[in-house]
Every structure is written in C-alpha cells, then in structure tokens.
Amino acid sequence: MILVTGGAGFIGSNFVLDWLACSDEPVLNVDKLTYAGNLANLAAVAQDPRHVFVQADICDQAAMQRLLAQHAPRAIVHFAAESHVDRSIHGPAAFIDTNVNGTFSLLEAVRTYHAGLSGTARDTFRFLHVSTDEVYGSLAAHEPPFTERSPYAPNSPYSASKAASDHLVRAYHHTYGLPTLTTSCSNNYGPFQFPEKLIPLVIANALDGKPLPLYGDGSNVRDWLYVGDHCAALRRILEAGRPGETYNIGGWNEKTNLDVVHTVCDILDAALPAPSSRRELVTFVADRPGHDRRYAIDARKIERELGWKPAESFDTGIRRTVQWYLDHQDWVADVRSGAYQHWVRQNYGARGAAGGAA
C-alpha cells in the first residue's frame, strides 16, 4: 500500500485515479477536506476496495502515526498543501500551518515509522514530496529555465511556505537518513481543478458570459503541464528516483496568460458558438502584489535519468481539459458554491471585476 496525502484535491485525486487505473496496489488516501478537497473527485473509486479514504489533518501527528502503524505503507506521496497565491496574500497563516507545520508533523511521524522498519521494507521505503516551481522565484524574459540547482527565491507567502517545506524534507534526508524525493512542477491543468485557478475559471466564466479578468497586461508567462503527465512523472520518480534528489517536472509549454485565455476562448467558440467571440470578455484588472513575471522549467534531468517526458502538448492537453469541463458542468456548479462566490468577491471585487483573474 501507498499513502497519499491531499488525495481529494486537484492533483492528488488525479494521481489516485491514475494509480488505481495502472496498478492493483491499494491507496490509503488522507485528506482534511478543506474547500479544495472534494470527494466527488473520487466518485469513480468510491466502492473500490483498493481505495481507503480517511479524513485527517497532517498537522495531527498522533493521527498520522496511528495510520502509519495500522496500514504500514511502503511509500508516501505528499500532496497536501494550501496552494493558491491569492489566498496566501489574504491569509498567510493557513499556509504556514499546513505547508510548514503540517509537513513538519508528517515528517516527524514518518521518521518514527521509518526507524521501526527493517530489511527490505526499510531499504525500499520512499517519501515523495510534491512541490512547485514557484520556490525558485521569477525569471526575466531572457533567462534560462529553472533547473534543480536554481537558487530558492520565493516571492509570495505561498511559495515561501513551500520553500520552507522543501528545506525540511531535505534536512530530514541529510540528518536522519529518511529516503526522500522532491519534485518541483510547473502550472498544472486538467480535470477536477478548483475554479479559482486560471483555466477552469476562464472556462466557467466564459460559458456564463462573465468578464475574464486578467492581472496586469496578461503577459505573465507560465509553463503548462497536463496533470496526467505530472502523475505519470511522479509514478516514475517513486519507482526509480534517487533518494535525496529533486526532479523538476515541466511541460515545455511556456505561454502568456493572455495566450492561454485566448486559446480557451477559441476552443469554446468552436464547440459552442456565441454571438461574438469570447475573447471580447477579457478584462484587464489591477495586478496582484508581488506577481512573478515568468516561470519556466528545465525538465531534462528527469528525461535523462528516468526516461520521462510529457505525452501531451499544450494543444492536445487544453482540448482534453476544456472538453472535460464541458462534459462535467454539474461538477463545476457544485464546487462554485456560496463560499466560493464569497471568495471571488473578496479577492477581485475591489480590482474592478468580479469573477476571477490570473
């Protein structure tokens, strides 16, 4: 069995579903079920005996110790995190609690568990920590992409909290011999993504004929990674990654936010023609504080050492994604609850547009 933290969230639930589609090995799925954790994401495996779900908080070290002792997983894949930059600006405390203190509590529980293992079980155990390219800071247009040796320079409370968790994981490997693996991924997109993030937000707003607010001039650049490709990379790293190493996972798809929004609009216009192009809904709003200009990932290490590279281009991945949201509008309606609408008004109302931005 493997243990997955945050397995009801966007990337975590995709990982669980893909894992069970590719393997008969059971998954112990531990999630606190905050606003972004959604059991509806896991409906396809709700009756699958290989999927064991437990609602628990990684900050609860005693609870994690009990689960480790009870289920004896051979590996842990650690997704659980607060992950939205805008929310971290409004309320950084939750990000410190979950991303820093929670990772620390989990590491302490795992350290005790690992120390009690012996033989093959001890030698093959792995702790896979899923992080982000945002820990590296912002790139200028002319600078090369981030490598695993890029210095850390986080610029938001979110990325600073993830950087802190990365350093804790590194320290537990070097100090205690915990066999850790760390990944830094670029912007994910695909099914089950909460609609505060750019692509699902644009799809939902565009279908409703609402404004598509973009921070600044829309020229901020991100590298885009289809979530299924990310999950495949994580499986490969868990299988063959070297303990103590970091692996960057990217899609080789640098796009401006405006380009991404225009692409989504064009796909929707072709699928569901409207009286006018949905590009006309784009509205530029005041930028958020400390907005990083560009992220880009150099993913040659994982390709060279582990033979992984993304299967989806941005063109194929974004078409699959838009179609998924068109086919699952009930899911979107359910997650765009009153609490979500309150958040949208809180974050974006004062910027001159309600409905989200990127």
Query: Can you tell me which residue has the tokens 């590996």?
Result: 75
Is 133 catalytic? The answer is yes
Q: 3-class SS at 132?
A: strand
Q: Kindly name the residue from 31, 57, 133, 292 that is annotated as catalytic.
A: 133
Is 166 catalytic? The answer is no
Cα–Cα distances in angstroms (integers) from residue 358 to residues 200, 222, 342, in the given order: 11, 11, 18
Given a contact cutoff of 8 angstroms between Cβ atoms, the answer to whether 187 and 225 are in contact is: yes
Q: Kindly name the residue from 86, 134, 166, 292 that is annotated as catalytic.
A: 134
**Dihedral sign for Cα atoms in the order 335, 197, 226, 35:** negative
Q: Kindly name the residue from 31, 57, 113, 158 that is annotated as catalytic.
A: 158
Return the amino acid letter for 68.
L
What's 233's DSSP letter?
H
Is 108 catalytic? The answer is no
Core vs surface per residue 27-65: b (16+ CB within 10 A) or e: bbbbbbeeebbbeebbeebeeeeebebeebbbbbbebbb
Alpha helix (H) residue ranges in the chain: 10-22, 61-71, 85-90, 93-95, 103-115, 119-124, 157-176, 198-208, 227-240, 257-271, 300-306, 314-327, 329-335, 338-348
Distant-in-sequence, close-in-space partners of 266: CB < 8 Å, separation ≥ 6:
277, 279
Catalytic site positions? 133-134, 158
